[in-house]
Amino acid sequence: MFGGHPLFICLGGGNHANERQYMMLRKASALLVALAVVATACGSDKKTTTTTPAGGTTAAGGTTATGGTTGASGASLVISTDLPLQGASADASADTNNAVNLVVEQAGGKAGKYSITVKPYDNSTAAKGGWDDATCAKNANDHVANKAEIAVMGTYNSGCAKIEIPVLNQDPTGPMLMVSHANTNPGITKAWDPGEPDKYYPTGVRNYGRVIATDDLQGSAGAQFAAQDLKVKKCVVLNDAQTYGVGVASAFASAAKKAGIEVVATAAWDAKQPNYTALFEGFKALNPDCVYLGGINDNNGEQLIRDKVSVLGPNTGTVKLIAPDGFTGYPTVQKLAEAQDMYITFAGLPASELVKAGGAGAKFVADFKTKFGHDPASAYAIYGAAATQFIMAAIAKGDGTRKGTLAAAFSGITVPKDKSVIGKEFGIDKAGDVTVRDMSIQLMKGNVETFLKAWPVS
């Protein structure tokens, strides 16, 4: 009676073996569909931020190789950005692209005699909800292959940078310059883990710089602040078991010991746990007076903060809460009641301080708001603009080739104070680290991150 329709044949087969095979197919596919639906539900709740790149990808991609290599006057060069445009960091990345475009636009689209366009790259995949290593490898090779590209602004994640730097370093026409606005892992420029940093520079020439201070300094700033200003004695140091989190937590722990704080417990939190009450209950007996969250908020940070408060008491009470910049720039954290009165260190100065300081930094933040209708979603957007300014200074001094631009970048050039979007003259040293090491302590108050004080680091 159901004859003819393929669906009924496959579902209603009388043959035993046949039925078994289709049952298995159906089970497997039902499972897959269910998983796919769950994943979609998780992935699609991010609000979409539309970016309007001033340069536009097609225009940038259309420029031919001739300009990039000959260095003739008026040649068109491309600065590419390499950011995770999907997942939890999408908002910060979108605004970083906005800021980069704005800073190029404000310079009249010119660096010296070269006209500049911006080409955004995405190093994330939706499936991962963040940066993807294969995509980073692809982007790195694409930067090298696209002859009009002169330098790269990025990446956001240090892990991605460690994949891209060796590829750019071995560019036959380079090495190619890369300047990051957000990589805080020390190992990229400093002797940190075995083989670092030399293993990222196979040709022996440094081609990487950053305009932000590293995690080791951020951990020290957090620990020194805790010891001197908060006068805490016993700290619990947590990490999220990822590269950044482990690095910044161990930097905090070692600086804390030096500053006279006892580290009573170190532990990793599992981002997949529904709650952390048991974790914090375990610390109660140790009588800590501070908890340090080494990690990023993406790893279930809000739940962690909630449970810290529910078990160990409010952040204004005996147990203080300190976190690194992995918790800055998240509106959801800022609005969380339990997150109020937590301290956050930030490797750099927040937008609010730039505005207060006046000058070029304040003007840039104001211009950003005028153009895009909101403040930058993350202070990293400003540092993205700073990195672009530095790249443009290198291009202006260089000869229009990748090699020449790189040499200019490491020749001690700086972005002058009257132009710098971070309000201070800055450049990079021989290792590639930024010459200005601003570190700030922020306090969560009234649903915003408020600047508490600058913390000098040596």
Partner 1 sequence: MFSSTIERLQPTTPAGKKFARYTGILAVLVVAWLIPNYLATGTDGPLPLFTVVLCAVYALFALGLNIVVGFAGLLDLGYVAFFLFGAYTAAWFMSDFFYQVNPRDPSDKQFAINFHFLSTASADIKGIHISFWIVIFIAAGIAALAGLVIGAPTLRLKSDYLALVTLGFGEILPEVFRNGDDVFGYNLTNGTKGIGPVDKIGMGFLSRLPGIPATITSSDYKTKYYVILVFCALFMYASIKLRDGRLGRAWMAIREDELAASLMGVPLMRTKLWSYAVGAIAGGVGGAFYATIVGTVNVDNFTFSFSIIVLCSVILGGMGNVWGAVLGGIAITWFNYTGLVWIGTQVNKGFGTSVDLKKFEFGFFGLVLVLMMLFRPEGFIPAARSKQLKKADKQVQSIETAGAAS
| 63-122 positions binding partner 1, by CB under 8 A | 86
- On whether the CB atoms of residues 57 and 119 are closer than 8 A, the answer is yes
Judged by beta carbon, residue 35 or residue 454, the one nearer partner 1 is 35
**Structure-block tokens of residue 27:** 């089970």
* Residue 348 to residue 441: CA distance in whole angstroms: 10
Which residues, 6 or more positions from 95, have their beta carbon under 8 angstroms from its beta carbon? 49, 372, 376, 377, 378, 381
Q: Which stretch binds partner 1 (CB under 8 A): 32-40, 67-75, 280-288, 433-441?
A: 32-40
25 binds partner 1 (CB under 8 A): yes
195 binds partner 1 (CB under 8 A): yes
* Residue 404 to residue 388: CA distance in whole angstroms: 17
Judged by beta carbon, residue 132 or residue 353, the one nearer partner 1 is 132
Q: Concatenated DSSP letters for 160-189?
A: HHHHHHHHHHT-TT-PPEEEESS---GGGT
Considering the complex, what minimum distance in angstroms separates the CB of residue 241 from partner 1?
6
205 binds partner 1 (CB under 8 A): no
59 binds partner 1 (CB under 8 A): no
29 binds partner 1 (CB under 8 A): yes
Site string for partner 1, 38-57 (x = CB under 8 A): -xx--xx-x-x-x-------
Helix segments in 212-293, DSSP class H:
215-228, 243-258, 277-284
Q: Is 328 helix (H, G, I), strand (E, B) or coil?
A: coil
Judged by beta carbon, residue 224 or residue 299, the one nearer partner 1 is 299
Helix segments in 44-89, DSSP class H:
57-62, 65-70
Residue 361 has phi, psi (to 5 degrees) of -65, -45
- On whether the CB atoms of residues 154 and 380 are closer than 8 A, the answer is no
Considering the complex, what minimum distance in angstroms separates the CB of residue 16 from partner 1?
7
Which residue type does 345 have? T
424 binds partner 1 (CB under 8 A): no
Could you identify the residue written with the tokens 């403040």?
A: 375
Judged by beta carbon, residue 50 or residue 370, the one nearer partner 1 is 50
> Of 83, 96, 217, 226, which is closest to residue 161 (Cα–Cα)?
83
Residue 209 has phi, psi (to 5 degrees) of -135, 165
20 burial type by CB count under 10 A (0-12 exposed, 13-18 middle, 19+ buried): exposed
**Structure-block tokens of residue 132:** 């993807």
Judged by beta carbon, residue 24 or residue 454, the one nearer partner 1 is 24
330-389 residues near partner 1, rule: CB under 8 A: none
Residue 290 has phi, psi (to 5 degrees) of -155, 145
Considering the complex, what minimum distance in angstroms separates the CB of residue 238 from partner 1?
14
Chosen residue from 106, 125, 277, 401 binding partner 1 by CB under 8 A: 125
* Residue 269 to residue 261: CA distance in whole angstroms: 22
206 binds partner 1 (CB under 8 A): no
Judged by beta carbon, residue 11 or residue 72, the one nearer partner 1 is 11
Chosen residue from 106, 115, 170, 352 binding partner 1 by CB under 8 A: 170
35 binds partner 1 (CB under 8 A): yes
Considering the complex, what minimum distance in angstroms separates the CB of residue 304 from partner 1?
17
Judged by beta carbon, residue 98 or residue 442, the one nearer partner 1 is 98
Q: Which stretch binds partner 1 (CB under 8 A): 108-116, 190-198, 329-337, 346-354?
A: 190-198
277 binds partner 1 (CB under 8 A): no
Q: Which stretch binds partner 1 (CB under 8 A): 187-195, 327-335, 379-387, 398-406?
A: 187-195
Considering the complex, what minimum distance in angstroms separates the CB of residue 213 from partner 1?
18
Chosen residue from 66, 70, 113, 127 binding partner 1 by CB under 8 A: 127
209-268 residues near partner 1, rule: CB under 8 A: 241-243, 245-246
- On whether the CB atoms of residues 180 and 155 are closer than 8 A, the answer is yes
Considering the complex, what minimum distance in angstroms separates the CB of residue 62 from partner 1?
11
Q: Cα 135 vs. chain centroid, distance in angstroms? A: 16
